[in-house]
Amino acid sequence: MRPDACGDVERSDHPQREPPRTVARRSVLLAAVLTVSASATVATQKVFTADDLAVVERTVGTYFEAAKSQIAAQEYETAKVRLIVAREYLARSWTFWSRHARGDAAKRVTATTAALDALDDRLSEVPIDPARVQAAVHEATAACAACHAEFRVEHPASGTYGIKPGILGEHTGERGR
């Protein structure tokens, strides 16, 4: 037997159960770890080509949009899992822009990654403040849009994005995708 915080004696033969919310959080955390681990092979690959960047951008977009939908439904813990994947993939795109001597684009990636980190911080608060979460979603969305406006072009037929013509310059031999 051992005393609890109030000095009362607890019976050690009756283990205390964790609150359901704690169990749910641990389950979501485990799912996040497994999701990130499953995508680790792809995510840890450096992004060197326009094709690599296209794959990364599609993945970031898919997971970020899913996170925003789950935030709108107030499924915050599930949204965190999606956000973690989006953030990790986005961070990999820094390599592409750095390799192509586009420090301005690499800075945009860094700023957008920071905005996703701030959103993750809002989703980690206890209790979660929906207004602060929405403000962070707005900031992250704006960071994505700013980068796309400067460096990306949308292909209307497919809805996908490519690199704006001339962004990579003559020295790379690439014209953007």
What whole-number distance in Å separates Cα of residue 48 and Cα of residue 174?
11
* 105 within a domain of the structure (yes/no): yes
Count of domains for the chain: 1
> Using an 8 Å Cβ cutoff, are 104 and 164 in contact?
no
- CA 101 centroid distance within chain: 25
Closest CA to 100 of 144, 52, 49: 49
pLDDT higher than threshold 90 for residue 152: yes
pLDDT at 18: 53
Count of CB atoms situated within 10 Å of the CB of 56 = 22
Tens digits of per-residue pLDDT, 110-123?
999 999 999 999 99
pLDDT at 174: 42
> Using an 8 Å Cβ cutoff, are 106 and 62 in contact?
no
What whole-number distance in Å separates Cα of residue 56 and Cα of residue 33?
19
116: domain range? Answer: 19-172
> Using an 8 Å Cβ cutoff, are 67 and 141 in contact?
no
pLDDT at 175: 40
- Return the beta strands (E) in 16-113 as ranges: none
* 126 within a domain of the structure (yes/no): yes
Which CA distances in Å does 36 have to 49, 53, 140, 148?
23, 19, 20, 25
* 112 within a domain of the structure (yes/no): yes
What whole-number distance in Å separates Cα of residue 135 and Cα of residue 113?
16
> Using an 8 Å Cβ cutoff, are 163 and 176 in contact?
yes
Kindly report the CATH number assigned to the domain that includes residue 120.
1.20.120
Tens digits of per-residue pLDDT, 7-32?
555 555 545 555 656 656 665 655 65
Q: Which amino acid does the sequence have at 134?
A: Q
pLDDT at 96: 95
* 177 within a domain of the structure (yes/no): no
Query: Mean of the per-residue pLDDT values for the chain?
Result: 83
Between residues 107 and 171, the one the model is more confident about: 107
* 75 within a domain of the structure (yes/no): yes
* 135 within a domain of the structure (yes/no): yes
What whole-number distance in Å separates Cα of residue 51 and Cα of residue 162?
9
